[in-house]
Structure 1
Amino acid sequence: MGESSDEDSQTGVDQLRRAVAFFSGASKCEREKWVCRELLRSAGVEFAESEVTSSANEPPDVCFRTARFEVKEILDPGRERHREYKEALVEALANGGVPNEQIGYSPKDITPVGVGELIKAKLAELANHYAPAVRTNLDALLYVNLTEHWLTVGPMPQPQTFAQYGWRSVSAVYGGRHALFFDATTSAPEFLRARVGTVLTEIVEDA
């Protein structure tokens, strides 16, 4: 029993160490590629790892075939994720390697429409940083990572409500397993156009 407990503690610490490294500034490109791969996996698009590449000249952040993804994150207001994991690692090490479990967690439901509203607010903010001529050739990909919300079943918002923001396409990854496809113009890659209005979930096979 003692050995199993020690192994579990070490596993938890190792996971926290990997999270600290992954969410550091030095790993920005790797995080962006990870978001793109999660979108493709959830959408059931077959691809080779080598096809998902960081762009030599930004924007875009990530290229996949003809897709030009500009990757942005939506977190809980005020959340500092890298600091959060660093503090959790320090606490776990001080606690004999045992990560602190969240207590009193009461997740709230959020629908695709609710996610869409968060994304619209982000796109409105990004309009100040990307010229219209730039946005029209970019595929906006939002990674939505909320700590107290679960994505629940519900209708998707109408695609035309995203057109005013001027991106070639708008899609999102929610929580790492769900892909939401909000809008795509006629010039967007076919695999994005074909999935507009859908929510797709990655199927994880049992080991």
Structure 2
Amino acid sequence: MKQSDKRHLESLIAATEATRELFSNRNKSTREKMVARAFLRCLGIGFSEEEFVVGPEEPVDISFREARFQIREMLGDRKRGQALREQLKRYQKAKSINDVTDPWRDSIPLSFTDVSRGIAESLSSKASKYGVEACAKLDALVYVNIPGRHLYPLIPKLDPIVAEELDRQGWRSVSMVFIPFSCVLVAKADCPAFLRKKTGRVRMKWPHPGGWFDPQ
């Protein structure tokens, strides 16, 4: 094996192991802060790290100013733990870069309607667990993380069935981040003003080509 190939494969293995560590249970709060940062940046809301507070208690994952975020991740059909294990095994067995090089595939558009349906579905189990009374004090935030897909068209019009379902679940607000976009889908009158004022528009306010999740 070429020395350059060896170094590159070693870097891929190290990156995959770091990703598995990030998605371990002990790093749950770290991941939730990352999602909150990305959401606020894409929405165009400035912040300081000190404003992110873990909890203080279930079902609040991250408190930010007046917001009480319950954070969920929407993965589509994939099982991340299994995918990462298989990826790591593939890198470890590789004899050259060619063994880990995948063919280029164009990103496939995912409509706002389909995304919002998936969001309602992903929040359903938590809404059932906490109940309407608790959800009425929570701001649901869903990180849409589906590789190979992108949000298009950028028309944030809720399907009536989805709107009815989110209303039934009872959340004070429902928002999403789908890099590089953020959108507040639902915002009731008593939700934080910075969310309510941004309702109903897909926003892409972060001007940089990366760094959405990073600490300041």
Instruction: Identify the TM-score tier after normalising by the shorter chain.
Output: 0.7 to 0.9
Q: Does 1:185 align with 2:188?
A: yes
Q: Which SS does the other structure have where 2:72 is aligned?
A: strand
Kept in 1, the 8 Å contact 2:172–2:188? The answer is: yes
User: CA shift at 1:4, angstroms?
Assistant: 4.9
SS in 1 for 2:129: coil
The structure with higher relative contact order (CA 8 Å, sep 6+) is 2
Report the identity percentage.
27
Please show how residues 22-101 of structure 1 align to structure 2 within 5 Å: 22-77=22-77, 79-96=78-95, 98=97, 100-101=100-101
Give the whole-Å Cα distance in 2 for the aligned partners of 1:88 and 1:151: 26
Using the TM superposition, give the Cα deviation of residue 137 of structure 1 relative to its aligned residue in structure 2, in angstroms. 0.3
How many angstroms apart in 1 are the aligned matches of 2:210 and 2:35? 22
Runs of 5+ in structure 1 lacking a partner? none
Residues 81 and 195 (structure 1 numbering): CA distance in 2 closer, same or farther, change over 3 Å?
Answer: same
SS in structure 2 of the partner of residue 143 of structure 1: strand
Kindly state the Cα deviation for residue 37 of structure 1 after the two structures are TM-superposed.
0.9
Q: Deviations over 1:135-158 (max 9, x none)?
A: 000000111111342212331124
- Cα pair distance change 1:26/1:39, threshold 3 Å: same
CA distance in 2: counterparts of 1:4 and 1:51, whole angstroms:
43
Instruction: Write the deviation string for residues 103-142 of structure 1: whole angstroms up to 9, x where unpaired.
Output: 3635321122221111122233333211111000000011
1:165 aligns with 2:169: yes
Q: Distance in 1 between matches of 2:16 and 2:202?
A: 30
Deviation of the 1:83 alpha carbon: 2.6
Say how many residue pairs are matched.
204
Structure 2: runs of 5+ lacking an equivalent: 212-216
Q: What SS does the corresponding residue of 1:128 show, helix, strand or coil?
A: helix
RMSD: 2.5
2:121 corresponding residue in structure 1: 121
User: 1:41-84 CA distances to partner (integer Å, 9 max, x unpaired)?
Assistant: 1112111112112113111011111110001121122x221231
Q: Distance in 1 between matches of 2:58 and 2:110?
A: 32
TM-score after normalising by structure 2: 0.83
Q: Is the 8 A contact 2:155 2:202 kept in 1?
A: no
Distance in 1, Cα, partners of 2:202 & 2:184: 7
Query: Counterpart amino acid of 1:88?
Result: Q
Amino acid at match of 1:189: P
Matched residue type, 1:89: L
Q: 1:57 to 1:19 in 2, by over 3 A?
A: same
Give the TM-score normalised by the residue count of structure 1: 0.86
**Matched position secondary structure for 2:17:** helix
- The answer on whether the counterparts of 1:73 and 1:145 sit within 8 Å (CA) in structure 2 is yes
Give, as a single letter, the amino acid of the residue that structure 2 aligns with 1:179: S
Distance 1:192 1:53, change over 3 A: same
